[in-house]
Each structure stands twice: as structure tokens, then as C-alpha cells.
Amino acid sequence: MGTIVKTSAGEEIMQKISDSGYKLTESRRVVVELALKHEGHFSAADLYETIKSEAPSVGRATVFRTLDLLTSMQLLEKIHLGDGCHSYVVCQSRHHHHLICNTCGLTIDFENCHLNELLQDLSRLTNFSIKGHWLEVFGQCERCQNKEQFAVVGSIMKKDS
Amino acid sequence: MGTIVKTSAGEEIMQKISDSGYKLTESRRVVVELALKHEGHFSAADLYETIKSEAPSVGRATVFRTLDLLTSMQLLEKIHLGDGCHSYVVCQSRHHHHLICNTCGLTIDFENCHLNELLQDLSRLTNFSIKGHWLEVFGQCERCQNKEQFAVVGSIMKKDS
DNA sequence: GTGAGTGCAAAACGTTTGCATGAGC
DNA sequence: GCTCATGCAAACGTTTTGCACTCAC
């Protein structure tokens, strides 16, 4: 307990932190490694819960500060879920969007949004100077679709267990 | 001061509230009318500030409760700004998206997002069952673009006023 | 050695809730 | 008159901040 396995992706991020002139501290390494452990998106609270059990010496404020740092370096991205909560996802490419599983949180990136034509039309019609856009797609991943079928059967079988 | 002008749009919303079986109270009327006063999006805090000066008897909790009610009736929609704050916009049509001015908050709805092809591709590639999507476009409206030009000139002219 | 970074606790923030009172139907 | 809705205040969860200490450079 308490041993944080260092991943290569984590080391890569630590390198970028160092390259940007920030110090390589143990707390930052913990936050980075545990953030990478999450398959999909995660909230600050999720991450802090994990940290409390795996590396209890790291404080809550440090989690928020490190998440902010990573977000400002575009290594993480803040996303919004349907219910209004915000979460973070690890960020790979420059301009991209997310396909998010509402059930398990699995997040898949995609790049080409084919929106250029729409944005040009909008700009022409409204005289807005368009600065950016934000697209998120919600659904259910293959695994959760299958699980849900099993779950229904299961709940019938062991009702009021 | 303290006089809430009743708009026809406001009366229309009040009618829908009544039709849905909710009571037509003075507080709800105040929230609806002052929400309609906002040209673009507004936060709960924005609205409560306005209410504190125009109708100070209405409590904070009522503002939140009424915003929730209007959102659940799809008369308002909760949107997310780039910085992570949520705001509300008055909602006209069924499926639509928003073009938002980053400077003044002016919000323009548009309906056709031409995303069907993209969503089909995504579904095919990932085996996700796609439930919905969310698109917001950010930019600067014509008026704010012009204002910004003046503002630059202005600040040069009366620097350190 | 120095200052950026930290942990802790308290504060701030936005939002929700419990409850006695009041207004709409 | 009955109930829903309200105002108030307190509680809540999340995020930020102030401060003394410490660790990476």
C-alpha cells in the first residue's frame, strides 16, 4: 500500500512539467500517476479519494493546484457532464472532442468534427467573429450496453437479495 | 424601483407553469420576468443580484428552485461557459445549440448542426450507442467587435485618467 | 540557501435543505 | 382549509486562500 507505480505516460508528463520550469515534486508525481489510472474522466473529488488511500500525505489543495497546473499546460482538459458536474480527462491531441460513456465514464477522443462549413455559415449569418467551439457526444459504450443486459437479468434473479 | 413590468413572453411562461399544475406565485413571476430581461445567458448569482435590488423580498432559495423548475420544464437551459461556470439561457426550440458572445454574453440559437453523419461514423467506429450531443460555439458579436476598437482608442486617449 | 511548492485549516463560494410561516387554489 | 410554495438560516460539497514549513533546484 502506498506504492505509486510509475508509468511511462506519467514520466512523459513529469518531463513536460520540468521542461516548463516547474519543480518535480513527489506530490505532483502522485497526482499525475493516479490521474492516469482513471480510464475515463474523473472529478477532483474522485481523484482525492484515491489519493487519500494510496498516498494520504498529499493534501487536498495540492490536488486542486496540480489539476489546475496540468489543465493550464493542456495536459488535462476540463469537461462538463450532462448533470452539470465537471470532470477532467487526460488530453492527447491538440484540437479534439470527446465521446463519453454516460455509464462508466470511458472517454474516447476524436479529432475531425466536420464543423468548418457550419462555423463559416454561422459567422456569415450573424457577423460573429468565431473564436472556438465545444462539442461533446454522450452515449453508452459497447461494454456497458452488454453489462446492462446482464444487469437486468441479474436483478430479476436476485431481487431483494 | 420594485415595479416588475410584465412582458407577454413572461405571461406565456406563467401560463405554462399554471398549465403544468404549479401555482402562479408572485415570486415565480418576478424570477421569470427578470430572467427574460437578460439578453444572453445569466448565472443564478447574476439573477439573484438583480432580484435583490428590484424585488428584495424574494429569497435566494426561491431563485434556485424556480430556475430548476423552469429548466425541468425546458423553458430554460443550463449551459456551460469555457471557464467552467454554468449559466442559464431562455429556451425557444426543441433541439438547438448556442452561439455565445464571450464579451457581452449575447446568445443566439441555431438548430441545424449537420452532425448526423459524424455521429453515425462515430457510432460505427466505436460501437457506442449514441444518446445525445452538445455543441456550443464561442466568439464575439458584431457590437462587441466594434466596441473593442473604440475601447482601445479610448484607453490610449484617457490613459491613467 | 532560496523560493517554489506543500499541508493544514479556515474561508469562500455556489447550491441545497429543514422548517415554520404564508399565499394560491 | 388544505397544500404547495416561500423566506430564512443553517448545512452542504467543492474549491480557494493564508500561512508557516519544507524540499527541489
Q: Does domain A93-161 have CATH number 3.30.1490.190?
A: yes
Specify the 3-state DSSP secondary structure of B97: strand
**Residues whose CB is less than 8 angstroms from the CB of residue B59 and which lie 6 or more positions away in sequence, other chains included:** B27
The tens digit of pLDDT for each residue in B29-79 reads: 999 999 988 877 888 988 999 998 888 899 999 999 999 999 999 888 887
pLDDT over 50 at B161, yes or no: no
C-alpha cell of B138?
Answer: 464561442
- B95 DSSP 8-state letter: S
Q: Is the pLDDT of residue B3 over 70?
A: no
Chain A residues 82-141 with CB within 8 Å of chain B: 82, 84, 86, 99, 101-102, 108, 110, 112-115, 117-119, 122-123, 126-141
* Overall average pLDDT of the A136-158 stretch: 68
Domain-by-domain residue ranges, chain B? Answer: 1-91, 93-161
Distance CA A35, CA A64 (A): 12
How far is residue B10's CA from residue A159's CA, in Å, rounded to a whole number? 48
CA distance A80 to chain B (A): 7
Angle A36-A37-A38 from CA coordinates, rounded to 5°: 90
Provide the pLDDT for residue A159: 39
Which grid coordinates belong to A122? 454561422
Q: Which nucleotide is nearest to A24 (CA to C1')?
A: D24
- Binding residue ranges of A: 95, 101, 104, 133, 141, 144
Supply the pLDDT for residue B69: 94
Mean pLDDT of chain A: 81
Cell readout for B140 is 464575439
DSSP secondary structure string for all residues of B43-78: -HHHHHHHHHHH-TTS-HHHHHHHHHHHHHTTSEEE
Confidence tier at B159 by pLDDT (50, 70, 90): very low
> What pLDDT digit, counting tens, does each position of A52-94 carry?
989 889 999 999 999 999 999 988 888 776 565 678 888 765 6
* pLDDT for residue B21: 92
CB B89 within 8 A of CB B99: no
E strand spans, B111-149: 129-140
Q: Which strand (E) or helix (H) includes residue B94? A: none
What is the residue-wise DSSP string for A31-71?
HHHHHHH-SS-B-HHHHHHHHHHH-TTS-HHHHHHHHHHHH
Span A95-130, pLDDT tens digits: 778 888 877 777 888 877 788 888 888 899 899 888
Contacts of A142 in chain B (CB under 8 A): 126-128
* pLDDT at residue A100, rounded to an integer: 80
Nucleotide nearest to A28 (CA to C1'): C5
Q: Which of A9-13, A29-33, A87-91, B23-27 has the lowest mean pLDDT?
A: A87-91
Say what the pLDDT of residue B160 is: 39
Whether residues B82 and A134 touch (CB distance < 8 A) is answered with yes
Residue of A117, A124, A87, A135 lying closest to B97 (CA atoms): A135
In the prediction, which pLDDT does B107 show?
A: 81
Binding site residue list of B for Fe cation? 95, 133
pLDDT for res B158: 43
- Written out in words, the top-level CATH class of the domain with range B1-91 is mainly alpha
Does A28 contact strand C, using a CB cutoff of 7 Å? Answer: yes
